[in-house]
Structure 1
Amino acid sequence: MFVNVSLFKSGSNDSTMAVFRTLSRNLPYLRQQFEALLGNTSTSVKFICGVVLLSYGLSYSDEAVRVISVTPGYLAPPSFWLWTTFTFCFLEIHFWEVLVDIVTVGLCGKLIEPLWGQMEMLTFFAIVNFAVAILTTAFYFILYACTFNTEFLFMVHIHGLAGYVAGVAVAVKQIMPDLVIMKTPLGKISNRNVPLTVFFLSVILKVVGLVDGTYPTMFFNGLLTSWIYLRFYQKHSNGTRGDMADYFTIASFFPNVIQPPIAMISNTIYSALVKIGLCRKVVRKYDVASPIGVTISIPGSSSSNIDHHDTERRRQIALKALSERLSKSHGGGVGTKSALSPKHGKHSPKVITPTSPPSSDRSTFQSLAVQGPVMHHPHYQQKKPISDDDGGDERTSLVQDV
C-alpha cells in the first residue's frame, strides 16, 4: 500500500540498509499516502505513524529488534535497559501490523484528539504503553518463576502498539458505547463489544500463528490499563477525574449473561482497594423528587464526574422512549379517566382515577431507567394518588425504590 518492499528478513545489515534505501526512494509517495489517510490530524499523530512505518525497516535486523524491544531479562537488573519501555511501541515486525497501528493512531487523531486535546492524547499514549511494557514483563517473569525456562526472559521480545490498540478500543467504547458497527444473524455488534471481541480474535490469531505470543498479553494489559486510567484517573476540563458512568463498568465489557458474577468479583476487588486507600469511594446522591436526575460525587471533587452532554443525551433518549410507550398505552385504553361528578356541581374538582399499567409496561419502565444516567439500576414504583384537601387536582408521583 505504501511502499513496495521485496526483501525477505535475513537478519543482515545489508537487508536493513536496502530497506532504508527503498523507503528513502519512496518518501514523496509515502508523504502523499499519509496525507490521504490521516487528513487534517495533528503533527503528533503524523509523527507517531511516521516513526512506526520507518521503524519497520529495523525489524530486518535481529540486533535492532533486541535493542529496541523490551526483553524481560534485559529490563531487570543488572542490565536495566529502561529505554526499551519507551521505544518498544514503535517497532513492528509484520507489515500488516504496521497498517493496523497507523489506522488506529489515525482514528485516535480524528475521533479522540478533538475531544481530549493533543496533550491528553499523548498522555494516554505514554501511560498505556509504559504500563503495558511493565505488566507484560511481569507476566513473563511469573511464567519463568513457574517453569524456570530462561526463554521467557531472553527469547521473548515485547514490541508493537497492541496495548494502545486496546486502549483506543476502550476509549471509543466510552465515547460512543451504543454505536452499531454491524448487524449479524446473532445480533448487533456495537462499540460495547469491540474490546473483548478483538481480544479473543487476537488469541485466535496467536493460535494460527499470525501474531506473536506477546500480542494477546499486550492487548489484555492495554485493556486493563486504559480502563483503569479512564475510569478513575483521567482529568477533565471541569476539574473532575475519571468516569463513573454505569455503562463503563468492567462488567459492561462482557455479555449480559455473565455480567452479574463479573460485577460481584469486580465490586469485591474495588471495595478492597478502597479500604487500603488506593481508590476513593464513590458517594451517590439520589434526588427522590426528580428520579431521572441522579448525581454522583467523589470526595474531593466539586461536581459530578459524568459528562453533562452525555447525561443529557441519555436522559432525552429515555424520556422519548418512555413517552412513546405511554402514548401507545393511552391509545389502547390504558390510562387516566376523568369524569365530572353530577352530585357536586360544576365547581366540584375532577376525579382522576389512575389505572395501574400492566406488568410489561412496568418492566419496560424499569429497563428505560437503566438507559438513563441512573446508577445501579434503581427501580421505580408508582405511588398511589395524593388528593388535595383544598379541592385541587389529584396528582401521581414517582419515587425510587433503592
Structure 2
Amino acid sequence: MAALRVFSRNLPYLRQQFSALLGNTSPSVKFICVVVIIGYILSFSDDVVNVLSVTPGYLLPPSFQLWSTFTFWFLEIHLWEVIIDIVTVGLCGKLIEPLWGQMEMMKFFLLTNVGVAFLTTFYYLVIFACTGQTSYLFDIHVHGLAGYLAAVSVAVKQIMPDHLLIKTPLGKLTNRSLPLLILIAAIILWAIGALEGTYPCMWGSGTILSWIYLRFWQRHSSGTRGDMADNFSFDNFFPTVLQPLVRGVLGPPHRCLVRLGVCSPSPRRVHLALSPRGVTISMPGVEPQDMERRRQIALKALSERLSKTSEQTRQKNLSTKVNMDAVRKMQSQVTPAFAGEVPGPAPAPAEATLVDLAEPEPPAKLS
C-alpha cells in the first residue's frame, strides 16, 4: 500500500515526463508504447500469458503456435520492464527514426522480435537435448522486448560508438561496450535468482540478430547494403585483449558464409604509407551514408557545444555589465574629501563684469 501511495503521488510527474518523451514522435512509436501497456494489464491472467507468450515446445511441431512470435513482445510481467520498454522505444523514436525513417524502424522492430523468438526457442531446444528435461520446452514462457532493447543498443553503438556515457574508476563506459556489459549483468542477475533465464537469452539473441542485419543486410538509400565499417565488426563488442581471439574463432565461419554468398567480405586494412602517391583507395565500410551519418552527428554535437558556450559567454558578459553599472553608480554618489579640508558652504559665484568692446576714441591733438 505504501508503494501504491508513492506511485499515485508521483503519477502527475511521471505523466508529464512520459508526454515530454513521446511528444513529436511517430504514430508507430506511440502504438508500440500503448500496446505494451495493454499487454502488461493482460499479463495478470495466466491463461493470457500461456496463449500470447512463446513456449518453445508449442512453437515446434506439431503445435506450430506461430502467432505467438507476433504477440510475445508486448507482454510484460513487471512494471519496471514496462517503464524501460517505453523509455527505450521513445528514445529510439527520437534518435534512430529520424535517421532511418518510420518504415525502416518498423522493419527492424519486426525482424528483430520474430528472430529473437525463433533463436531463443533454438537455445532451449539445445538445452533440452543436453539435459532431457521437458521443463525447458513447456514451462518456459518467452515474452517482452528484451531482444529489441538489445537491438537498439547495437544500433546506438553503430551510430555513436564512442559516445561517453559515464566515467568509472575502471575506465570510461561508452556505447561500444554497452551490449556486452548488459548481457554480463543479466547473466549475473539470473545466476543469483533476481532475473528470469529468458532475459539473457533474449538479450543475446537480439544482439546477434540486430548486428547481422545492420552489418550485412540493411539497405541504404544509396543502394548499398550493410555497414562494413571496421569499428562495427563483431569483435569490436569485446575488450581489446579478447578481440584477436574472437576474430580467430569467428573467422572460418564467416569465410564459409562469404563463399556461399550470404555475407559480405570484411574490409581490408590498407596501410596508406605503403600506397603510391596520387592513387585513390576505395575501401568497403567507408560508404557515403556512413560518412554523412557521422558528419551529421558531429555537426549536431558541435552546434550544441557552441550554443552552450555562447550562452555561458552571454551570461558572463551580462553579469560583468551589471557589476560595472553598479560601480559607476556608487562612484557617482561618492564626493571625494581631502585631509584637513573642512567642508563649508559653497562660495557664491563671482559677479559678471561687462566690458565695452567699442573702439576707443582717438586722443586729442596737442596744439
TM-score bracket relative to the smaller structure: 0.7 to 0.9
The number of residues matched between the two structures is: 291
How is 1:120-131 mapped onto 2 (pairs within 5 angstroms)?
120-131=104-115
Task: Give the structure 2 partner of residue 307 of structure 1.
Answer: 290
2:282 maps to a residue whose letter is T
1:115: which partner in 2? 99
Match of 1:353 in 2: none
1:100 paired with 2:87, answer no
Alpha-carbon contact 2:112-2:209 (below 8 Å) kept: yes
User: Quick one: structure 1 residues 198 and 290, their matched pair in 2 at CA, closer, same or farther if it must change by over 3 Å?
Assistant: farther
Which deviations, in whole Å up to 9, do the C-alpha atoms of 1:78-110 show, x marking residues without a partner?
211110000000001111111111111111100
Contact 1:199 1:220 in 2 (8 A): yes
Q: Secondary structure at the match of 1:188?
A: strand
Alignment of 1:55-66 (within 5 A): 55-66=39-50
Q: Which runs of 5+ in 2 are unaligned?
A: 300-367
The corresponding residue for 1:295 is: 282
In structure 1, the residue matched to 2:125 is 141
CA contact (8 A) 2:166 2:173 kept: yes
Output the CA distance in 2 between the equivalents of 1:313 and 1:259: 29
Asked if the contact 1:41–1:110 (Cα under 8 Å) also holds between the matched residues in 2, the reply is yes
Superimposed CA distance per residue, residues 363-394 of structure 1 (whole angstroms, 9 cap, x where no aligned partner): xxxxxxxxxxxxxxxxxxxxxxxxxxxxxxxx
The CA distance in 1 between the partners of 2:252 and 2:63, in whole Å, is 39
Structure 2 Cα separation of the partners of residues 126 and 274 of structure 1: 26
SS of match in other structure, 1:181: strand
Q: Conserved in 2, the CA contact under 8 Å of 1:132 and 1:218?
A: yes
1:69 aligned onto 2:53: yes
> Which of 180, 196, 207 is the matching residue for 1:223?
207
Higher share of residues assigned strand: 1
1:211 correspondence with 2:195: yes
Could you give the per-residue CA deviations for residues 259-288 of structure 1, whole angstroms, max 9, x where no partner exists?
111112222221111123322335759673
**Contact conserved, 1:274 with 1:280, CA < 8 A, in 2?**
yes
- Provide the residue aligned with 2:344 in structure 1: none
* 1:182 alignment partner AA: I
3-state DSSP of counterpart to 2:157: helix
Matched, 1:188 2:175: no
Name the structure 2 match of 1:347: none
Name the CA distance, whole Å, in 1 between partners of 2:298 and 2:278.
11
Match among 233, 255, 263 for residue 279 of structure 1: 263
CA distance 1:290–1:208, shift in 2 (3 Å): farther
Q: Cα gap change, 1:135/1:271 in structure 2, threshold over 3 Å: closer, same or farther?
A: same
Which SS does the other structure have where 1:177 is aligned? coil
* CA distance in structure 1 between the partners assigned to 2:297 and 2:17 by the alignment: 39
Shift of residue 74, structure 1, vs aligned partner: 1.1
SS, match of residue 192 in structure 1: helix
Q: Distance in 1 between matches of 2:139 and 2:5?
A: 27
Q: Is the 8 A contact 1:295 1:304 kept in 2?
A: no
User: In the alignment, is residue 165 of structure 1 matched against residue 158 of structure 2?
Assistant: no
CA distance in 1, matches of 2:194, 2:67: 28
Query: Are residues 188 and 297 of structure 1, via their aligned partners in 2, closer, same or farther at CA, if it must alter by over 3 Å?
Result: closer
Residue 260 of structure 1 is aligned with which of 244, 250, 256?
244
2:123 alignment partner AA:
F
1:336 equivalent in structure 2: none
Q: Give distance in 1, aligned partners of 2:204 and 2:182.
A: 10
Taking structure 1 as reference, are residues 285 and 147 closer, same or farther at Cα in structure 2, changes over 3 Å only? closer
Q: Residue by residue, what CA displacement relative to the aligned partner does 1:199-228 show, whole Å, maximum 9, x if unpaired?
A: 111112212333211000000000000000
Residue 215 of structure 1 aligns with an amino acid whose one-letter code is Y
d(CA) in 1 for partners of 2:101, 2:189: 34
CA distance in structure 1 between the partners assigned to 2:145 and 2:216 by the alignment: 23
> How far apart, CA to CA, are the structure 2 residues paired with 1:305 and 1:272?
28
Q: Does 1:270 align with 2:270?
A: no
- Gaps in structure 1 of 5+ consecutive residues: 7-21, 317-402
> Which structure 2 residues correspond to residues 172-183 of structure 1 after superposition, within 5 A?
172-183=156-167
What CA distance in whole angstroms lies between the structure 2 residues aligned with 1:194 and 1:251?
14
Preserved CA contact (<8 Å) 2:21 2:91: no
Q: Output the amino acid matched with 1:118.
A: Q
Q: Distance in 2 between matches of 1:178 and 1:294?
A: 26
Return the letter of the residue paired with 1:210: A
**Shift, 1:187, TM fit:** 0.9
The DSSP-based 3-state class of the residue aligned with 1:266 is helix
**Residue type of the partner of 1:36?**
A
Distance 2:254 2:34 in 1: 40
- Give every structure 1 segment of 4 or more consecutive aligned residues whose post-TM-superposition deviation is greater than 4 Å: 3-6, 28-33, 282-287, 289-294, 310-316
3-state SS of paired residue (1:198) = helix
Is the 8 Å Cα contact of residues 70 and 157 (structure 1) preserved in structure 2? yes
Instruction: Tell me which amino acid in the other structure corresponds to 2:84.
Output: V
Q: Could you tell me how far apart the structure 2 residues matched to 1:293 and 1:39 are? A: 46
CA distance in 1, matches of 2:295, 2:108: 26
Larger Rg: 2
One-letter identity of the residue aligned with 2:223: G
In angstroms, what is the RMSD of aligned CA positions? 3.0
Structure-2 separation of matches of 1:190 and 1:139 = 29
Counterpart residue type for residue 170 of structure 2:
L
Structure 2: distance between partners of 1:118 and 1:214? 29
> Which protein has the bigger helix share?
2
Q: Judge conservation of contact 1:284–1:295 (CA < 8 Å) in 2.
A: no
